[in-house]
Amino acid sequence: MSDRLQDRHVLLTGAGGGIGLAVAAACIAEGARCTVIDRAAAAPEAVRALQQRHPDRLAYIAADVTDTKAIAHMLAEAQVAFGPIHTLFNNAAVFDLAPLLDSDEASFDRLFAVNVKGMFFVMQAVLRHMVEAGTQGASVINMASQAGRRGEALVSHYCATKAAVISYTQSAALAMAPHGIRVNGIAPGVVDTPMWDHVDSLFARAEGLPPGEKKRQVGLAVPLGRMGVPDDIAGAAVFLASDEARYITAQTLNVDGGNVMS
């Protein structure tokens, strides 16, 4: 590894496993110290395993990103652990689907609470900290989705939340440019994580498919011929957090095997 993030503090939400934890591992490999945030009261087993390998470079904090008081507490704890935050990987999100005419208010509220409200107020709190601390090389990476680039008949609320992530990324980048803070996004395509097993089960029920069939179909439809894996996203995240991306801001990078062209 090239120590591209040497001694930088990376705060990651939604990082109890999957993409978030893969990004944390990649950042640690590049010399970073990582504060991992997830809802579970105790660190998940995968987090504990990474922490055992890097006890001085990984801290775990339980927090609900939809609670603004919890965000303030989370940020204070993170600074106690590793000092000023250099990069935010803003990843916490939930998924649901339903036919448009059957979609209910509870699903709408839950998706927007986590994917939009939580994303925005975590970003705002961390950006305020970065401005006050004058952190050099500071950056924010918001996790969007290919779903934010287009509508989908069964996934209207989720698509709308991820479109909001892309829009907030652009606005925040313009607001933070005078402070030298970069704000970018990543829009993954279909990534093989435990969350996609949940997504597959929802599609199976909605479309009358056998379990695993939707996952098989979307993998085959990717131009590069496979679903992504968390490490595919981790490479992009490390790049955007590093000085190699020092002249990149207000962009949302498609990491999707060619699904979306922009």
**HEC secondary structure over 173-241:** HHHHHHHCCEEEEEEECCECCHHHHHHHHHHHHHHCCCCCHHHHHHHHHCCCCCCECHHHHHHHHHHHH
Domain span at 203: 190-227
- Tokens 């207000």 -> residue: 250
- The answer, as to whether pTM is greater than 0.85, is yes
Q: Is residue 4 part of a domain?
A: no
State the catalytic residue, choosing from 60, 158, 168, 247.
Answer: 158
Phi-psi region of 42 (alpha: psi -120 to 50; beta: other; left: phi over 0): beta
Q: What is the pLDDT of residue 143?
A: 98
168 is catalytic: no
**Residues of the chain falling short of pLDDT 70:** 1
Say whether both 125 and 153 belong to one domain.
yes
Which residues, other chains included, contact 218 with Cβ-Cβ below 8 Å and sequence gap of 6+? Answer: 190, 227
Sequence length of the chain is 262
Q: Is residue 180 part of a domain?
A: yes
Element (H, E) at 35: strand 33-38
Q: How many domains does the chain have?
A: 2
Q: Is residue 3 part of a domain?
A: no
Q: What is the pLDDT of residue 262?
A: 82
Q: What is the pLDDT of residue 2?
A: 74
